[in-house]
């Protein structure tokens, strides 16, 4: 993925679709057609054109080299010095005919970066359903007598990514990835990060009020978070547990003073779980912020660096123990609701002694919280390229398959790839997010996008893509382009830095999605640049993302009529 303003992260449709996905055979699951999640005119047009396609023979689509001629605007971008040693691979096809209209090296493997999330989210929609919601229940381990539970209160984690935050009480999963800001999940690497204007504790507060409404005023035992739904997955970006409160992040807002003074700090959510100390100095020049836990006291966080006068800054601290974090926050929420807990709020989560995972008595359930829909989660993940969220979706697929090992979700995704008629040997996946060495070919990626668009959940899948100059990780590119709003595609990035020179090599900057045309005969595409080099990674994140997006825009314009 990429970020606006040169800041970023190094790592990496209507009716049933009757024609063959590019280079693939039609196979689908039955199910009702669901409406799209937004009233987007480009999406409506796209759905109508894709639904009208007809089956073609394999002979119509077997490119191995170059097909068609790139528009001059795309050639000019590719001729930049940064791409002197780079490969440009692309495959653009007309789903109405099954033919490629533009291609170069479409059968060569290349890293996917975050475009691999297309496989994850499509599989989740097909396997779990776009309207499926997750329920997080709370149980009392003993009967309530005169307002007191002489035992524990157990919150059973469900994998809900928001637990009431991000507008979840209204059924939404909001984010702040726009043309000028980046969502707080990237707050430790992006200076223009902002958090969603919503209470991240809304779900825990709701659960606590439900507990109080049952007449419970005291828990004589402990509060426990049952995380056994899946084993915490170690993702490239960090741990992926089944419990999330505020994305398991402590937001830290830094307000500068006068030059030479310490900056002040405020945190979200407000909690006793951590103390935060400011060692941030106000100076004429800002050098950035660093956050670390005190090695002698892991609950004490120290923020260092410098900020400029009149220019507030923000950063985050990633919570290393999500279960204990959630436990403390729930104990505090219970207290606000008038429920006293005998155990201290500042204590580690202790799951010893819990009953078998599926043996909680129904009559001991004292509260439950329901998540937004899978399509709300999926759209947020696609628009923001939320790595932890994509890996959590893989974990949910594993749970659906009867496993607590998140990597079992990869088998479900693999089965889906094969069901879609893709060449499974040309799709390499290692997780849900698209960490290296996840790879595929532009042709296979386009085939997936075409197949996905034709499923009953296709409208939700297409509507959830970032849109050039409008939403998500494409919002900051092409705002003044005539192709604005006409490129619907997921971004992907994988980059590495030379430690001696600081120069950045971009293993891939990619896009996969849909090109809207005025004539209604829309296109599917996969586009990758591999091997671009830049003086530093921040320059690369800005330039590579813009350049690949504008190549896609140039192609859309060339085929618009």
Query: Could you write out the three-class secondary structure of 272-305?
Result: CCCEEEEEEEECCCCCEEEEEEECCEEEEEEEEE
Domain boundary among 314, 340, 371: 371
553 touches 77 (CB < 8 A): no
Is residue 66 helix, strand or coil?
A: strand
Same domain, 295 and 405: no
Same domain, 432 and 301: no
pLDDT tens readout for residues 176-196: 999 999 999 999 988 889 999
Residue 13 lies in a domain: no
Query: Which pLDDT score is estimated for 189?
Result: 86
Residue 54 lies in a domain: no
Domain boundary among 356, 371, 386: 371
Same domain, 405 and 531: yes
Same domain, 232 and 203: yes
Q: List 120's β-bridge partners, or say none.
A: none
Supply the mean pLDDT for the chain.
90
Same domain, 231 and 334: yes
Q: What range does the domain containing 312 cover?
A: 133-371
Domain boundary among 371, 394, 409: 371
Closest CA to 513 of 463, 439, 478, 470: 463
Residue 151 lies in a domain: yes
Q: Is the pLDDT of residue 425 over 50?
A: yes
pTM of structure: 0.90
Of 93-97, 198-202, 275-279, 418-422, the poorest mean pLDDT is in: 93-97
Residue 347 lies in a domain: yes
Q: Which of the four pLDDT bands, split at 50, 70 and 90, describes residue 64? A: low
Same domain, 433 and 365: no
CA–CA gap between residue 23 and residue 49 (Å, rounded): 19
Residue 528 lies in a domain: yes
Instruction: List alpha helices for 193-338, DSSP H.
Output: 202-213, 322-336
Q: Is the pLDDT of residue 468 over 90?
A: yes
Q: Is the pLDDT of residue 15 over 50?
A: no
- Domains in the chain: how many in total? 2
Helices 117-127 and 442-453: crossing angle, nearest 10°?
Answer: 30
Residues composing the chain: 561
Residue 40 lies in a domain: no
Same domain, 552 and 530: yes
Residue 66 lies in a domain: no
Same domain, 88 and 205: no
Closest CA to 536 of 506, 509, 508: 506
Same domain, 137 and 112: no
Query: Which pLDDT score is estimated for 45?
Result: 42
Same domain, 340 and 210: yes
| 363 Cα distance to chain centroid | 36
Q: What contacts 340, CB < 8 A, 6 or more positions away?
A: 217, 218, 219, 334
Same domain, 174 and 217: yes
- Average pLDDT for residues 417-425, to the nearest whole number? 96
Residue 432 lies in a domain: yes
Same domain, 332 and 434: no
CATH code of the domain containing 385: 3.40.710.10
Q: How far apart are the first and last CA of the chain?
A: 30
């Amino acid at each position: 993925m990429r970020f606006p303003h040169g800041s970023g992260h190094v790592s990496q449709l209507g009716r049933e679709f009757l024609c063959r996905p590019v280079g693939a055979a039609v196979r689908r699951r039955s199910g009702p057609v669901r409406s799209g999640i937004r009233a987007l005119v480009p999406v409506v047009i796209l759905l109508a054109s894709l639904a009208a396609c007809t089956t073609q023979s394999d002979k119509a689509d077997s490119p191995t080299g170059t097909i068609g001629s790139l528009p001059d605007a795309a050639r000019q971008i590719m001729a930049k010095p940064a791409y002197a040693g780079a490969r440009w691979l692309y495959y653009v096809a007309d789903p109405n005919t099954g033919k490629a209209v533009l291609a170069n090296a479409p059968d060569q493997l290349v890293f996917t970066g975050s475009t691999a999330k297309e496989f994850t989210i499509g599989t989740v929609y097909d396997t779990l359903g776009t309207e499926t919601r997750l329920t997080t229940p709370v149980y009392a381990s003993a009967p309530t007598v005169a307002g007191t539970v002489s035992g524990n209160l157990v919150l059973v984690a469900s994998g809900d990514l928001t637990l009431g935050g991000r507008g979840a009480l209204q059924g939404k999963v909001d984010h702040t990835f726009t043309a000028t800001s980046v969502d707080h999940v990237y707050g430790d690497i992006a200076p223009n990060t902002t958090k969603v204007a919503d209470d991240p504790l809304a779900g825990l507060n709701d659960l606590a009020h439900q507990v109080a409404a049952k007449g419970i005023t005291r828990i004589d035992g402990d509060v426990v978070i049952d995380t056994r739904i899946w084993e915490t997955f170690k993702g490239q970006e960090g741990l992926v547990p089944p419990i999330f409160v505020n994305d398991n992040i402590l937001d830290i807002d830094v307000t500068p003073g006068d030059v030479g003074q310490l900056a002040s700090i405020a945190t979200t959510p407000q909690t006793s779980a951590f103390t935060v100390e400011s060692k941030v100095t106000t100076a004429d020049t800002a050098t950035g912020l660093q956050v670390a836990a005190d090695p002698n006291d892991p609950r004490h966080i120290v923020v260092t660096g410098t900020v400029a006068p009149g220019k507030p800054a923000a950063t985050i601290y990633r919570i290393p123990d999500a279960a204990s974090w959630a436990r403390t926050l729930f104990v505090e929420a219970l207290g606000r609701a008038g429920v006293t807990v005998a155990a201290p709020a500042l204590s580690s989560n202790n799951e010893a002694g819990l009953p078998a995972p599926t043996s909680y008595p129904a009559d001991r359930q004292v509260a439950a919280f329901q998540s937004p829909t899978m399509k709300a989660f999926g759209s947020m993940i696609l628009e923001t390229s939320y790595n932890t969220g994509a890996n959590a979706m893989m974990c949910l697929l594993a749970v659906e398959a009867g496993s607590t090992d998140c990597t079992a979700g990869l088998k479900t995704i693999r089965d889906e790839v094969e069901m879609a008629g893709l060449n499974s040997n040309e799709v390499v996946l290692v997780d849900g997010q698209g960490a290296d060495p996840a790879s595929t070919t532009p042709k296979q990626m386009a085939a997936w996008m075409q197949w996905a668009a034709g499923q009953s959940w296709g409208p939700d899948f297409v509507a959830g893509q970032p849109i050039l100059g409008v939403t998500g990780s494409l919002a900051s590119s092409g705002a003044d382009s005539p192709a604005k709003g006409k490129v619907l595609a997921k971004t992907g990035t994988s980059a590495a830095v030379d430690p001696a020179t600081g120069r950045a090599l971009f293993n891939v900057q990619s896009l996969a999605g849909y090109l809207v045309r005025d004539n209604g005969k829309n296109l599917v595409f996969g586009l990758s640049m591999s091997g671009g080099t830049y003086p530093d990674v921040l320059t690369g994140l800005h330039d590579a993302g813009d350049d690949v997006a504008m190549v896609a825009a140039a192609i859309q314009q060339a085929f618009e009529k």
